[in-house]
């Protein structure tokens, strides 16, 4: 607890709470990624009110640009005022009512998180599991659908915890054959990996601002098909969450009279618009190709320095590469060396993969030849320090 | 829907999605408020990862400074990664289980919001209502407690929709006599109006970053007493919301090993820390006094130009002043004049008060003699234009 501040206390404390001087890190982990200077500039533009006519225009443009990024014509497309997990919870809590069955595909940490949310909101989670580092097989999804009365199938497109990029087209087809909705976690893929919401028949797709979109964390873009909105509008019970209730947020973000719901994080929306504008300028397809090329370069270099890729090599996510930590190498030591000697951060494993894998992200502005080469070189030197090559 | 971008399309669209050029507004409405340049500067410092040791230090300091702002020693004190309403929902959804009774004090729009949330999470809301612009009387709360089995009393400290500052000390005493928890909405009061969480016996208190703290919107500081945490830890059922589950967020924000929960909005946390540092430098008590003095000046000027205060004058919130819109004066016209001719925004009424009141906020850096005088003068000129004085 902060003490009552006598003048002496104040002097002391002001030394403790000094000016922030963050290190200039190259963020090559699972996200957040570094932020383009243009996005940072947008972040400090003059703030206006959340109901200001100027901001209404900013919102419309942001929605338009998000539709471009998701490749969708969905009316209900906007950023949730929270981080990626808030996007996940919005998707789940709007769909699930007490007793509803949902097929949840789990190929890592974030699939488990979806399953947890389904259960919290009173649903029954029918889990379909893949081995860590492998994709979910469509046959397993079909079996789960055939043996249940599932309202939806939820699946992670880019499983950040294992570096898998999950193929979706066939699973979407099966899901719709069984009359279920397809919910997709695109937290790490949006703006970096091929994703076609309408063409692939995705009903709800959510993401986050701080990965391939290269914006500060704090917003979770989401898009919802008319089919899913119709399910939501015809719920037997109200959505438990007020904050994530899409039917009311829609009135603020999409409808022209903009009924107040909550105070949007104005400056983060400025930043998101700029991040999306950068994407628009580069073009989606070019962005996807850039991420694939730099991931391939990275994978080659990683193998050259004697490490092995954790993920099934046919399905590596272009935004994040998972690497096996060799036996007898200390996870923490290597990451500390990268951080302290190179100012580079990479991520360790989550949950049961802690200590077993590293995760290197090349996302948004950070997906470059230079960074792919640099991080492999730095890893090699850190491993030398650990006497890995002796 | 954004069209496929041929080069011609791209050129056209890049004109549409041009550089953002927000007007430089003086935000004298219900919030967000303007942001101190020091806070804006903190917002663009180099981003690090949410699990970076440097960020761990920033989190600890932010928690410490928040305890100072709330005047509390509560261990569980941190910003929720969402706006003020996310703070409200965190408070409610952690306390309420199916069938639980909560006495909800409603003196305006935000009291109704709390009641809505209680019901969504399966609770029974026992509503105690005040006339708009009046405070909740302690006798009414006592009666509701005597006739129910309430687990908590929820009340708004500064009701942003009516400009009331609600006395809390006696209501707190009664609440605890009945063994209930006291939940307080301090969205508009924290950092601007006298608030003493521990001394007043508040069990859960939540706020927002963009009002008297003068930071960008997107964070909701919350503090929870050990008594409330013990109720939460002994729930019969899990908290419905994953994103707002305080017992798990606590493991990331408070415990020293910092178990990953979600990606904190890093840059907003930098900004919040700086906003709290400004508060610390000024000292809480001086800040409260400044808000009272400028509110009194404003009220005097408002009456001098022939307008009436909407709120019970014994209980005007120092951060926001509600004014009756005179008959035959058009709400929208006056606010448009302020916006377009003075670049000042003030707020209209919410819900049933729309068209009936204006709300002028003097919050954080905006609580100054200059602004109090300026907004009254601007209002007078806007009223002249509406021929109010003829």
Co-location of B209 and B268 in the same domain? yes
Q: Please tell me the distance in Å from B390's CA to the nearest CA on chain A.
A: 30
Which of 86-115 (A) contact B at CB < 8 A?
A: 86, 89, 93, 113
Token pair recorded at residue A9: 């206390």
- What is the structure's pLDDT at B14? 63
Co-location of B263 and B210 in the same domain? yes
Confidence of residue A2 (pLDDT cuts 50, 70, 90): very low
DSSP conformation class of B256: T
Contact between B101 and B149 under an 8 Å Cβ cutoff? The reply is: yes
Which of these three, B220, B251, B280, is where a domain ends?
Answer: B280
Asked if the Cβ–Cβ distance from B116 to A84 is below 8 Å, we say no
- What is the structure's pLDDT at B1? 36
Mutation site, B236, B267, B348, interface A, largest A CB count within 10 A: B267
Hey, is the C-beta of B37 within 8 angstroms of any chain A C-beta? no
Asked if the Cβ–Cβ distance from B5 to A265 is below 8 Å, we say no
Contact between A100 and A151 under an 8 Å Cβ cutoff? The reply is: yes
Q: Nearest residue on chain A to B23, judged by CA atoms?
A: A46
Q: Mean pLDDT over residues A349-355, rounded?
A: 93
Contact between B47 and A27 under an 8 Å Cβ cutoff? The reply is: yes
Which of 195-224 (A) contact B at CB < 8 A?
A: 208, 210, 216-218
Minimal CA–CA distance to A200: which of A246, A164, A244, A153? Answer: A153
Q: Mean pLDDT over residues B337-359, rounded?
A: 96
- What is the structure's pLDDT at B188? 97
How distant, in Å, are the alpha carbons of A47, A143, A301, A313, B20 from that of A128? 46, 9, 34, 21, 45
Domain that holds residue B219: 37-280
Mutation site, A110, A263, A287, interface B, largest B CB count within 10 A: A263
Q: Nearest residue on chain B to A346, judged by CA atoms?
A: B49
Residue written as token pair 């806070």 = B39
Asked if the Cβ–Cβ distance from B216 to A265 is below 8 Å, we say yes
Q: Whats the size of chain A, residue-wise?
A: 390
Token pair recorded at residue A217: 């964390």
Mean pLDDT of chain A: 95
Minimal CA–CA distance to A216: which of A277, A263, A266, A271? Answer: A271
Asked if the Cβ–Cβ distance from B217 to A263 is below 8 Å, we say yes
Asked if the Cβ–Cβ distance from B32 to A1 is below 8 Å, we say no
Q: Three-state SS for A119?
A: helix
Domain count along chain A: 2
Co-location of A221 and A302 in the same domain? no
Co-location of B165 and B266 in the same domain? yes
In a domain, B212, yes or no: yes
Whether the per-residue pLDDT at A15 is higher than 80: the answer is no
In a domain, B314, yes or no: yes
Whether the per-residue pLDDT at B312 is higher than 80: the answer is yes
Whether the per-residue pLDDT at B4 is higher than 60: the answer is no
pLDDT in tens, B22-46: 999 999 999 999 999 999 999 999 9
Report how far residue A367's alpha carbon sits from residue B70's, in angstroms, rounded to the nearest whole number: 43
Co-location of B271 and B294 in the same domain? no
Contact between A156 and A117 under an 8 Å Cβ cutoff? The reply is: no
Residue-by-residue DSSP string for A223-271: EE-HHHHHHHHT-SS--S-STT-HHHHHHHHTSTT----S---HHHHHH
CATH at residue A258:
3.40.640.10
Which of 275-304 (A) contact B at CB < 8 A?
A: 277, 280-281, 283
- What is the structure's pLDDT at A6? 63
- What is the structure's pLDDT at B252? 95
Mutation site, B27, B97, B217, B344, interface A, largest A CB count within 10 A: B217
Report the DSSP beta bridge partners of residue A80: A220
Minimal CA–CA distance to A85: which of B86, B16, B5? Answer: B86
Q: Which residues of A124-159 are buried (b: 16+ CB within 10 A; e: fewer)?
A: bbbebbbebbbbbebeebbebbeeeebbbbbbbbbb
Q: Mean pLDDT over residues B99-126, rounded?
A: 97
In a domain, B340, yes or no: yes
Asked if the Cβ–Cβ distance from A263 to B82 is below 8 Å, we say no
Which of these three, B280, B305, B326, is where a domain ends?
Answer: B280
- What is the structure's pLDDT at B201? 98
pLDDT in tens, B114-150: 999 999 999 999 999 999 999 999 999 999 999 999 9
Hey, is the C-beta of B38 within 8 angstroms of any chain A C-beta? no
Report how far residue B58's alpha carbon sits from residue A160's, in angstroms, rounded to the nearest whole number: 25
Co-location of B61 and B97 in the same domain? yes
Q: Which of B46, B68, B113 faces A23 most closely, judged by CB atoms?
A: B46
Contact between B28 and B243 under an 8 Å Cβ cutoff? The reply is: no
Token pair recorded at residue B60: 């600890």
Co-location of A167 and A300 in the same domain? no
The torsion region of residue A364 among left (phi > 0), alpha (psi -120 to 50) and beta comes to left
Q: Is B134 exposed, middle or buried (0-12, 13-18, 19+ CB in 10 A)?
A: middle
Minimal CA–CA distance to B72: which of A3, A12, A7? Answer: A3
Mean pLDDT of chain B: 95
Contact between A154 and A105 under an 8 Å Cβ cutoff? The reply is: yes
Whether the per-residue pLDDT at B5 is higher than 60: the answer is no
pLDDT in tens, A239-251: 999 999 999 999 9
How distant, in Å, are the alpha carbons of A72, A151, A184, A319, A344 from that of A198? 5, 19, 12, 22, 37
Hey, is the C-beta of A134 within 8 angstroms of any chain B C-beta? no
Report how far residue B344's alpha carbon sits from residue B322's, in angstroms, rounded to the nearest whole number: 16
Q: Whats the size of chain B, residue-wise?
A: 390
Mutation site, B85, B216, B348, interface A, largest A CB count within 10 A: B216
Which of these three, B280, B295, B319, is where a domain ends?
Answer: B280
Q: Please tell me the distance in Å from B138's CA to the nearest CA on chain A.
A: 28
Residue-by-residue DSSP string for B186-232: -TTTTTTS---TTTTT-SEEE--TTSTT---SS-EEEEE-HHHHHHH
Co-location of B253 and B318 in the same domain? no
Q: Which of B48, B58, B81 faces A82 most closely, judged by CB atoms?
A: B81
Tell me the whole-structure pTM to 2 decimals: 0.96
Q: Nearest residue on chain A to B270, judged by CA atoms?
A: A20
Token pair recorded at residue A204: 């709800």
Q: Nearest residue on chain A to B22, judged by CA atoms?
A: A46
Hey, is the C-beta of A14 within 8 angstroms of any chain B C-beta? yes
In a domain, A215, yes or no: yes
Mutation site, B35, B49, B61, B335, interface A, largest A CB count within 10 A: B49
What are residue A165's phi and psi, to 5 degrees? -105, 115
Angle of helix A226-233 relative to helix A84-95, nearest 10 degrees, comes to 60
Asked if the Cβ–Cβ distance from B242 to A117 is below 8 Å, we say yes
- What is the structure's pLDDT at B6? 63
Q: Please tell me the distance in Å from B46's CA to the nearest CA on chain A.
A: 6
Minimal CA–CA distance to A22: which of B43, B6, B159? Answer: B43
Residues of B with Cβ-Cβ distance to A21 under 8 angstroms? 45
Cα A38 to chain centroid distance, Å, stands at 21
Contact between B276 and B69 under an 8 Å Cβ cutoff? The reply is: yes
Q: Nearest residue on chain A to B271, judged by CA atoms?
A: A20
Minimal CA–CA distance to A305: which of A360, A352, A267? Answer: A360
CATH at residue B350:
3.90.1150.10
Asked if the Cβ–Cβ distance from B242 to A23 is below 8 Å, we say no
In a domain, B18, yes or no: no
Q: What percent of chain B has pLDDT over 90?
A: 93
Angle of helix B7-16 relative to helix A266-282, nearest 10 degrees, comes to 160
Hey, is the C-beta of A17 within 8 angstroms of any chain B C-beta? yes
In a domain, B274, yes or no: yes
Cα B34 to chain centroid distance, Å, stands at 14
Residues of B with Cβ-Cβ distance to A86 under 8 angstroms? 81-82, 243, 262
Minimal CA–CA distance to B162: which of B221, B111, B197? Answer: B111
Q: Please tell me the distance in Å from A135's CA to the nearest CA on chain B.
A: 24
pLDDT in tens, B146-177: 999 999 999 999 999 999 999 999 999 999 99
Minimal CA–CA distance to A30: which of A159, A157, A136? Answer: A159
Q: Between A and B, how many residue pairs show a Cβ–Cβ distance under 8 A? A: 253
Which of 139-178 (A) contact B at CB < 8 A?
A: none
In a domain, B5, yes or no: no
- What is the structure's pLDDT at A17? 87
Token pair recorded at residue B183: 């939940």
Whether the per-residue pLDDT at A154 is higher than 80: the answer is yes
Q: Please tell me the distance in Å from A244's CA to the nearest CA on chain B.
A: 9
Co-location of A210 and A84 in the same domain? yes
Residues of B with Cβ-Cβ distance to A264 under 8 angstroms? 83, 217
Asked if the Cβ–Cβ distance from B281 to A10 is below 8 Å, we say yes
Mutation site, B3, B11, B263, B285, interface A, largest A CB count within 10 A: B263
Residue written as token pair 């200077």 = A37
Hey, is the C-beta of B263 within 8 angstroms of any chain A C-beta? yes
pLDDT in tens, B63-75: 999 999 999 999 9
Mutation site, A4, A7, A15, A22, interface B, largest B CB count within 10 A: A22
Asked if the Cβ–Cβ distance from A17 to B277 is below 8 Å, we say yes
What are residue B66's phi and psi, to 5 degrees? -65, -40
Asked if the Cβ–Cβ distance from B48 to A23 is below 8 Å, we say yes
Q: Three-state SS for B306?
A: coil
Whether the per-residue pLDDT at B267 is higher than 60: the answer is yes
Hey, is the C-beta of A64 within 8 angstroms of any chain B C-beta? yes
Hey, is the C-beta of B75 within 8 angstroms of any chain A C-beta? no
In a domain, B11, yes or no: no
Asked if the Cβ–Cβ distance from B216 to A47 is below 8 Å, we say yes
Q: Mean pLDDT over residues B325-349, rounded?
A: 96
Co-location of B51 and B119 in the same domain? yes
B350 half-sphere exposure, CB direction, 13 A CA radius: 24
- What is the structure's pLDDT at A90? 98
Q: Which of B47, B54, B273 faces A35 most closely, judged by CB atoms?
A: B47
Report how far residue B365's alpha carbon sits from residue B191's, in angstroms, rounded to the nearest whole number: 11
A58 half-sphere exposure, CB direction, 13 A CA radius: 29
Hey, is the C-beta of A67 within 8 angstroms of any chain B C-beta? yes
Co-location of A298 and A232 in the same domain? no
Co-location of B260 and B331 in the same domain? no
Report how far residue B380's alpha carbon sits from residue A231's, in angstroms, rounded to the nearest whole number: 51
Instruction: State the distance between the two ends of chain A, measured CA to CA, in whole angstroms.
Output: 50
- What is the structure's pLDDT at B2? 40
């Amino acid at each position: 607890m902060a003490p009552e501040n006598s003048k002496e206390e104040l002097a002391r404390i002001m030394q403790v709470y000094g000016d922030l001087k963050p290190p200039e890190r190259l963020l090559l982990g699972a996200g957040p990624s570094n932020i383009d200077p243009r996005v940072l500039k947008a972040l400090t533009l003059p703030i206006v009110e959340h109901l200001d006519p100027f901001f209404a225009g900013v919102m419309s443009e942001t929605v338009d640009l998000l539709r471009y990024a998701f490749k969708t014509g969905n009316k209900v497309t906007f950023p949730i005022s929270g981080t990626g997990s808030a996007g996940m919870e919005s998707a789940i809590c709007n769909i699930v009512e007490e007793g509803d069955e949902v097929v949840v595909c789990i190929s890592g940490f974030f699939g488990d998180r979806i399953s947890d949310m389904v259960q919290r909101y009173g649903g029954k989670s029918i889990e379909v599991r893949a081995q860590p580092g492998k994709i979910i097989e469509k046959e397993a999804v079909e079996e789960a659908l055939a043996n249940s009365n599932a309202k939806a199938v939820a699946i992670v497109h880019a499983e950040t915890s294992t570096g898998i990029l999950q193929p979706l087209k066939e699973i979407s087809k099966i899901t719709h054959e069984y009359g279920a909705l397809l919910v997709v976690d695109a937290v790490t893929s949006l703006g970096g990996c091929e994703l076609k919401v309408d063409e692939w028949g995705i009903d709800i797709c959510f993401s986050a601002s701080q990965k391939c979109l290269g914006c500060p964390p704090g917003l979770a873009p989401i898009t919802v098909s008319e089919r899913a909105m119709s399910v939501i509008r015809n719920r037997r019970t109200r959505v438990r969450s007020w904050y994530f209730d899409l039917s009311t947020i829609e009135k603020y973000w999409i409808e022209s009279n903009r009924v107040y719901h909550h105070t949007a994080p104005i400056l983060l929306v400025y930043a998101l618009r700029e991040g999306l504008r950068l994407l628009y300028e580069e073009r989606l397809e070019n962005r996807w190709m850039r991420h694939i090329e730099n991931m391939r370069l990275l994978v080659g270099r990683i193998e050259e320095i004697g490490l092995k890729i954790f993920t099934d090599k046919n399905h590596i996510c272009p935004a994040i590469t998972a690497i096996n930590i060799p036996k007898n190498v200390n996870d923490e030591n290597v990451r500390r060396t990268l951080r302290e000697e190179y100012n580079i951060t990479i991520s360790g494993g989550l949950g049961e993969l802690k200590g077993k894998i590293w995760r290197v992200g090349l996302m948004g502005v950070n997906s470059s030849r230079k960074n792919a080469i640099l991080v492999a070189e730095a890893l090699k030197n850190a491993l030398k320090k650990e006497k890995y090559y002796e």
